[in-house]
Structure 1
Amino acid sequence: MPTAPFASPLRFGLIGLGNIGKVHCANFAAGKIPRGVLAAASDLRPPPSGTLPGGVRFFPDADAMLASGLVDAVIVATPHPLHRTLGEKVLSAGLHLMMEKPLAATKLDGERLLAHPRKPGQCFAIMMNLRTHPHYRRIRALLDHGALGKLQRVQWTITNWFRPEAYYALSDWRATWRGEGGGVLVNQALHNLDILQWLCGMPVSLRAFCQFGRDHDIEVEDAVTAFLHYENGATGVFTTATGEAPGVNRLEIAGTRGLVILENERLLFAENERDAADHSRSTDDAFGAPGTTVRELECEAGNPSHAGVLANFVETILDGAPLLADAAEGLKSVELANAMLYSTWKNETVALPLDSAAYQAALDRAAAVAPPRRRIIRAANVDMAKSFSTK
């Protein structure tokens, strides 16, 4: 049982052998998860030859895998609407759980999943792999040490999530309210929403403008601009899209002591000689800004990404190491995504915390009125490395 000490290696089961499931298989096969081994996998369809590492037992039924005694921990990597049901089954089986993003398609389902009973010591984590990126970790350290002073403004334009029609034709559930629960917000940019709140905290309200099927033949949002308001008076703008090429990925965080800019894999820090608020109150120069020193910050090379999150998960279970992203953290990005859609549908500013039941009702209405649409499913070249690009 998960409450007892575990011997190395920790035995993993994987539910879902789609694109991201195959990434996890490859990471285990390459030995990228120290003291972790893939012991079993489950999917509705048998995997193509060579998908699973040698010695991995395949189960066409996830319940049978959970009851097999072959696994200590489970990765759920299925379409979003299945996350809550499968997550509850894993927790009920007494196994450790790593949930692929999102925690659930909606805040309400996420709340219910987090409230599901767990055994003492049972670990429940969320796959927020951008948290392993050296640039974001360096920015987090600056903020934690107060190097930027009081937060004044954050602006993130992240439109290099380009997806052609071939991407949306990979499956019939993709980019639908019923099958995915949303578009760019709950799928691609959810990672950025997680980093946004990880760095700057949750806003107290937001006003969003989502466009649905602006650049694609889909029913969900593929372009979003949202305006954020924070408790201390700071403001933010978050813009994302899957139909813009060439796209942009530029993050700015401004505080009274300086400005951080991340773009094109370069992290710049413009540091004020004095806190801007203090300087403003004391200077006699009517146009005098504080002196500023600009330097590029060095960061560690490489990003362990998914393998790094799983390695931390193993360390947490075997050694008691701090968890990189507890499952409860996964609720915050889902709430931001839901709130942006809800704000658009209501055509008004939405206060946070979001009313999860009201949003669920709105999503159910959107799914109910979505017209049936014939989608021609076709094969396409899939390079998952491009899906994780942060440039």
Structure 2
Amino acid sequence: MVLVKVGVIGIGNIGSSHVQLLNNGQIKGAALTAVCSSNESRIEWIKSHTKGDMKIFKDEDTFFNESGIEAVLIATPHYSHPELAKKAFAKGIHVLIEKPAGVFTKDVLEMNDAAKLSGKVFGIMYNQRANPLFQKVRDLIQSGELGEIKRTNWIVTDVYRSQSYYDSSKWRATWKGEGGGVLLNQALHHLDIWQWTTGFMPKSIRATCSIGKYHDIEVEDDVTAFVEYENRATGVFITSTGEAPGTDRYEVVGDRGKLVVENDELTFYRLTQSERNFNATYTDGFGLPEWQKVEIPVESKNANHSMIVQNWIDSIVTGSPLLAPGIDGIKALDISNAMYLSSWLNQTVELPVDSDLYYEKLQEKISTSTFTKKLVTNTTLDVTGTH
């Protein structure tokens, strides 16, 4: 069996797990043949935690030019994802990027164009798309069982982070280093699942992003956003890294009932008839459509990184469809960029976001920043910032 030669660039927390996944033979049809990191301590880690004949590179250009890899998994800090992906596509290399796709939609659009021109398999690590729980939610919505969507609500406050987390590296929780806070880091998977399960994007967003509300950081750690959809449905998205104990509750209300995801369980409050039909025909004043509470037996599996990697390799080998196409990465990013821009401008923002305006405002945040970290406990971390 011919194995796809895979390389990993960025050997931090997430990159290290991908290295072990591939090096231990857990991905069928793939062989880890090269890694790249500029961090000496991570290179030493690679030498002591991997087996077999593997090439180690410190320079990204040499890595792409001389490694001989056919596919690359990019697990570097946020800003570098689009540029590295474009370099890989130019070399005819398949790409799987960690989330986020990038920090601003302007360069992600360029990356997506490069991916299309290359004809290579391009995936993104949206591992929650492989979670049977959210796959079932998507099926119930898009099959029409829930009826037309009226409202969506997601409270994501179970992503608590202490100050020590933010102090773990210089780049973390800065506009220049990470490009954002809870929206771009902890809640981006939720933003993707939000639009993926419903099957459509918001039309407009009005958001309040509180900067350093609970932590000594220069980016947001608390967000409340109101969205409107083309069909006049509305939604609310709330997230924070400063609440404990937190909540993770996702509700989708439709013409035929309500779906609730909480505590890794899915409940369908199913109406026996359309609410709109009931409203039009019921004549007794006070009343409510009949409904049944249905506990849907589906197991939640959150750690699905291996499934996304395997799906990507299978697509390279057999041409099978991707569960998380890389070009989809712009959708959650578009939502997060719109939330930031809405908060910065103190106004409602239409989607897709004005990519040039967002880039301009982000650069202003970076160039005018006077924030300095009072304490950095570890300046050598080489992590993606995805956790």
Q: TM-score, with normalisation over the residues of structure 2?
A: 0.93
After TM superposition, the structure 1 stretch with the greater mean CA deviation from structure 2, 18-27 or 309-318, is: 18-27
Residues in 2 aligned to 1:120 and 1:215: alpha-carbon distance in whole angstroms: 44
The offset of 1:30, in angstroms, is 3.9
- Counterparts of 1:65-144 in structure 2, within 5 Å, are 65-116=63-114, 121-144=119-142
2:50 is aligned with 1:53: yes
1:176 to 174, 177, 180: 174
The offset of 1:8, in angstroms, is 3.3
The alignment yields a C-alpha RMSD, in angstroms, of 1.9
Structure 1 counterpart of 2:278, one-letter code: H
**Aligned 8 A contact 1:157 1:248 in 2:** yes
Bigger relative CO (Cα 8 Å, ≥ 6 apart): 2
Task: Name structure 2 gaps, 5 residues minimum.
Answer: none
The offset of 1:81, in angstroms, is 1.1
Task: Name structure 1 gaps, 5 residues minimum.
Answer: 1-6
2:217 is aligned with 1:218: yes
Structure 2 counterpart of 1:197, one-letter code: Q
Residues in 2 aligned to 1:75 and 1:374: alpha-carbon distance in whole angstroms: 31
The offset of 1:254, in angstroms, is 0.4
2:30 is aligned with 1:36: yes
**Aligned 8 A contact 2:131 2:300 in 1:** no
The offset of 1:377, in angstroms, is 2.5
The offset of 1:87, in angstroms, is 1.3
Structure 2 counterpart of 1:57, one-letter code: K
Change (3 A) 1:361 1:109: same
After TM superposition, the structure 1 stretch with the greater mean CA deviation from structure 2, 109-118 or 345-354, is: 109-118
Q: TM-score, with normalisation over the residues of structure 1?
A: 0.92
**Aligned 8 A contact 1:94 1:118 in 2:** no
Residues in 2 aligned to 1:260 and 1:30: alpha-carbon distance in whole angstroms: 39
Residues in 2 aligned to 1:153 and 1:215: alpha-carbon distance in whole angstroms: 29
1:8 — aligned with what? 2
2:329 — aligned with what? 330
1:277 — aligned with what? 276
The offset of 1:119, in angstroms, is 5.5
The offset of 1:283, in angstroms, is 1.4
Runs of 4+ with >6 A deviation: none
1:365-389 residue CA offsets vs partner (Å, 9 max, x unmatched): 1111110414432249x9x9xx87x
Between the two proteins, the alignment pairs up a number of residues equal to: 378
Residues in 1 aligned to 2:7 and 2:109: alpha-carbon distance in whole angstroms: 24
1:332 match: secondary structure = helix
2:249 — aligned with what? 250
Change (3 A) 1:287 1:15: same
Residues in 2 aligned to 1:11 and 1:195: alpha-carbon distance in whole angstroms: 30
The offset of 1:19, in angstroms, is 1.1
After TM superposition, the structure 1 stretch with the greater mean CA deviation from structure 2, 299-308 or 229-238, is: 299-308
1:67 match: secondary structure = helix
Residues in 2 aligned to 1:118 and 1:65: alpha-carbon distance in whole angstroms: 23
1:310 — aligned with what? 309
